[in-house]
Amino acid sequence: MKKLIAIVLLSVLPALGMAAGGPGVPLLAADNDLSDQESLQRGAKYFVNYCMGCHSAQYVRYEKVAEAAGLTEQEVKDNLMFTENKKIGSQMISAINPDDAARWFGTAVPDLTLTARVRHSGDWIYTYLKSFYLDDSKPSGVNNLVFPDVGMPHVLVELQGLQKANFKVETDADGNEHKVFEGFELVKAGSMTPEEYDGMTRDLTNFMVWAAEPMKLERQRLGMWVMGFLVILFILAYMLKKEYWKDIH
Ligand code: HEC
């Protein structure tokens, strides 16, 4: 029986694998929940208000947002669409001219539809949004712990406030010195408390994880059925094998 449990456990363990962090920085767990429609609603609202000034999510259509977040067409038009000509089937395209943007920020502004997949998890996005810190050597005055020398300014600074990063210097066995991140320290409060800011960035992450894979919830639900089916099949096959072999041993 122990062997049986071990085999079943081993077969599900890879699903629990963790994504690696940035340059030596562990990622924070976003704990986002795709079935939380209110979180998706807030995430979509933050996205159109704070991110779409620069970024598009060009593979996402507003009607799909309505479906996933449990909103009516009219609610989406009233709250999430700022264009003159509101067509519910249109894509989430920023009004910014990509060439201008590239000139202003010194780098192309990436489309964010698939970022959660490209970065392997929502945890990366969540950590990224919480990891801007003061750095006078950068043109925008900030740097980012998981995206060093990032071209994006800290657009949520009014809400989060400003934090500085504390590093200590450690010498390894070969005598090389490294900067090791110790923690952030809020030096100027924003309009949100740290808990509120965590909630906001979690909602944004939730929205972006959904955008990257709108079928994920459905896939996971199906996946659980398939796993359950396989486990039951395995137990039956095992019992059958015991039954067949019992007279031989
Ligand atoms: C003022 C313009 C601007 C706004 C507003 C903005 N960004 Fe960005 N963002 C950028 C630029 C420019 C980059 C590219 C940075 C680079 O490559 O160095 C970027 C990069 C990113 C990346 C990294 C993508 C990757 O995988 O490389 C993420 C994630 C991101 N932005 C999320 C957001 C979110 C979420 C918001 C809204 C809260 C937002 N951005 C608002 C300009 C902006």
- Residue 110 CA to ligand 1 center (angstroms) comes to 7
* Closest C-alpha among 159, 160, 129, 158 to residue 145: 129
* Closest C-alpha among 162, 164, 161 to residue 191: 161
Residue 119, pLDDT above cutoff 70: yes
Please tell me the distance from the alpha carbon of residue 166 to that of residue 187, in angstroms, as a whole number. Answer: 12
Nearest atom, ligand 1, residue 204 CA? 35
**Dihedral angle of Cα 131, 143, 105, 122, to the nearest 10 degrees:** -20
What pLDDT does 85 receive?
Answer: 85
What pLDDT does 83 receive?
Answer: 84
155 lines ligand 1 (CB under 6 A): yes
Please tell me the distance from the alpha carbon of residue 222 to that of residue 115, in angstroms, as a whole number. Answer: 24
Please tell me the distance from the alpha carbon of residue 15 to that of residue 153, in angstroms, as a whole number. Answer: 35
- Residue 225 CA to ligand 1 center (angstroms) comes to 37
Contact of 180 with 81, CB cutoff 8 Å: no
What pLDDT does 74 receive?
Answer: 95
107 lines ligand 1 (CB under 6 A): yes
What pLDDT does 2 receive?
Answer: 66
Please tell me the distance from the alpha carbon of residue 20 to that of residue 27, in angstroms, as a whole number. Answer: 7
- Residue 155 CA to ligand 1 center (angstroms) comes to 9
Confidence of residue 221 (pLDDT cuts 50, 70, 90): confident
Atom 39 in ligand 1: residue holding the nearest Cα: 51
110 lines ligand 1 (CB under 6 A): yes
What pLDDT does 84 receive?
Answer: 83
CA gyration radius for the chain? 23
How remote is the C-alpha of 200 from its chain's centroid?
12
Residue 192, pLDDT above cutoff 70: yes
151 lines ligand 1 (CB under 6 A): yes
What pLDDT does 5 receive?
Answer: 64
Confidence of residue 110 (pLDDT cuts 50, 70, 90): very high
42 lines ligand 1 (CB under 6 A): no
Longest CA–CA separation in the chain, Å: 80
What pLDDT does 20 receive?
Answer: 41
Contact of 102 with 108, CB cutoff 8 Å: yes
- Residue of 152, 154, 198, 208 to mutate, ligand 1, most atoms within 8 A of C-beta: 152
Please tell me the distance from the alpha carbon of residue 47 to that of residue 102, in angstroms, as a whole number. Answer: 20
What pLDDT does 163 receive?
Answer: 97
Residue 69 contacts by C-beta under 8 Å, 6 or more apart in sequence? 37, 40, 41, 44
The tens digit of pLDDT for each residue in 3-25 reads 666 665 555 554 444 444 445 68
Q: Any idea which residue has 């000509």 for tokens?
A: 85
Percent of the chain predicted with pLDDT > 70: 90
Contact of 33 with 42, CB cutoff 8 Å: no
Candidate from 130-134, 178-182, 193-197 with smallest mean pLDDT: 178-182
* Closest C-alpha among 44, 43, 36 to residue 202: 43
50 lines ligand 1 (CB under 6 A): yes
Please tell me the distance from the alpha carbon of residue 115 to that of residue 70, in angstroms, as a whole number. Answer: 23
- Residue 202 CA to ligand 1 center (angstroms) comes to 16
The tens digit of pLDDT for each residue in 141-191 reads 999 999 999 999 999 999 999 999 999 998 988 989 988 899 999 999 999
- Residue 119 CA to ligand 1 center (angstroms) comes to 13
